[in-house]
Structure 1
Amino acid sequence: MDNLSRVTIKAWAEADRPREKLLERGRRALSDAELLAILIGSGSRNESAVELCRRILHDQGNDLHALSRLSVAELCRYKGIGEAKAISIISALELGRRRKDRKAEERPILNSSKQVYDHFEHVYRDLSYEEFWVLYLGGGCKFIAKQLIGKGGNDFTPVDIKQVLRFALEHRATGIVLTHNHPSGTLKPSAADRQLTKKLAEAATLLDLSINDHVIFTDAGYYSFRDNGLL
């Protein structure tokens, strides 16, 4: 084995350490052994975590499927692998297996106020106080994520504009749908609703984001800013 693999990870050049390498160059730049080394954190007195993981993989023909069939007891036969490390390896491989087996969750397309209402009405049903949720959309108005931004009393919910936009950037959204409920049942937007929507639309434009709609929910129906020409 090369000399680099015989010294501890802390003594390596920073660019060669698995964690730093992942941060600097991305997850795909790491070998299977380096990814496993991040999981176990450390090796033994005589070999680094990467060297230990290379040896374990070598014994399994460098086959992750074969590795995933090892038990905790079998992994613990390697010096430097205790029960906790073995469980970490098995858990990570099982997550990978489940991800592969599970079909991608269907993402609804929310390109109209009616679709937004039908998709999210259950969240607001029978609430006696206001909540403000934001729906984040990707290309083709496909739903990506939702985020509760604030809760209020009967007629007001505090909303942090920076938080709304920060979540949009984190989710890599291209479109935003604002939603909140009126426990009173009125479908008319308040002056505060109009002002908030205008501020968010202006702020979103600066980040090349779009406020697709602002939908007010009640138990009897909904009001769309887009449908009524306010966006």
Structure 2
Amino acid sequence: MKFVRNSTIEKPMINRLSCRRSIAGFILCSSLTLATADTLNLGAKSHDGTFDGFEDGRFLFRTAEGREIKEPRSSVRKLNLTEPRQVALTRTSKREPDKLTMTGYENGKFAVKADGKESTIPGMQVRSITVEMDFQAFGAMEQADTPRPVQPIDISGLTARQDLTAEQTAVLKQYQAANGKYNAFLTESSALVEQMDKATGAKREALLNVLRRRKAEEQPVKRDLEISRTALLKAFPDLVQK
């Protein structure tokens, strides 16, 4: 999987399905506004958002507002998932995780499937749960929830011009800096994905967690580029967009 860049904002291009647990979520996954959401029921109150995993006896959950919360297992009555999740579940009695399909949590037990068979695992027997990410689905959700940017802007004819005003020069430099920062961010993310593809075990899970955080970190970088691009088009209304 590689991130493609050009003279303006580009979406990460997903070419493989082998990348697992985000951003998240990137992955994932992961900071998206979903049409439907997971629900973490605490009895007196509940949270809608995205289940991010389980570790150190706490549920990791990202609310619909993007806030990350950690709720102790003893406080959680039920977890409803919008759809089953592929997870790596590590039991307290084992070092290596089991690859399972998780369908929810209720009455102190995680509901899972393995080889087509349904079963439950007591929460006290679970050390950690890592949600695996399908980056193709992650990319599709991002495209659905985030308006696609305007077409790339050709600035090749501006850099050599001698008649630019001070304001136009400042706007152009701001756009170039924002564009360079965003492209560098995508390049770094692409390198992390390649490392993750080759990694296994705890190292792979750590890289997936990094990618998931980066998905949220990408948004302000992208927003700065969008702002600078708008300013550029205002300063140079005759710019040709590819």
Fold shared per TM-score above 0.5 = no
**Normalising by structure 2, what TM-score?**
0.23
Higher helix share: 1
**Normalising by structure 1, what TM-score?**
0.23
Question: Greater Rg, structure 1 or structure 2?
Answer: 1
User: More relative contact order in 1 or in 2 (CA 8 Å, sep 6+)?
Assistant: 2
Higher strand share: 2
